Amino acid sequence: MKHIIRIAIAIISILIGIAGVLLPILPGWPFFAIALLLIFPEAPVARKALGKIESRWPRAHRFLRFLIDE
């Protein structure tokens, strides 16, 4: 079930990221980064980003860890 939720959130993040690229008000890169973390959690870039997120936004880190860990 977590896998389906993770993929759904990644797809939604990609769509919002595309909207962010097209609209000057909304930045798109944070949503692409979230999608990257959710789709490729084992990538070295994703692990490094999770380490940085942990110190800055602990709640977001706990939520992403919940989705990534199976």
Give domain limits for the chain: 2-68
Dihedral sign (CA 53, 54, 56, 57): positive
What pTM was estimated for this model as a whole? 0.71
Task: Give the CB-side neighbour count of residue 38, counting CA atoms within 13 A.
Answer: 24
pLDDT of residue 67: 80
Tens of pLDDT, residue by residue over 10-63, are 999 999 989 988 888 888 888 888 888 888 888 888 888 888 888 888 898 888
For residue 22, with 0-12 CB atoms within 10 Å meaning exposed, 13-18 middle and 19 or more buried, which class applies? exposed
pLDDT at 70: 62
The helix or strand, by DSSP H or E, that contains position 17, with its residue range, turns out to be helix 2-22
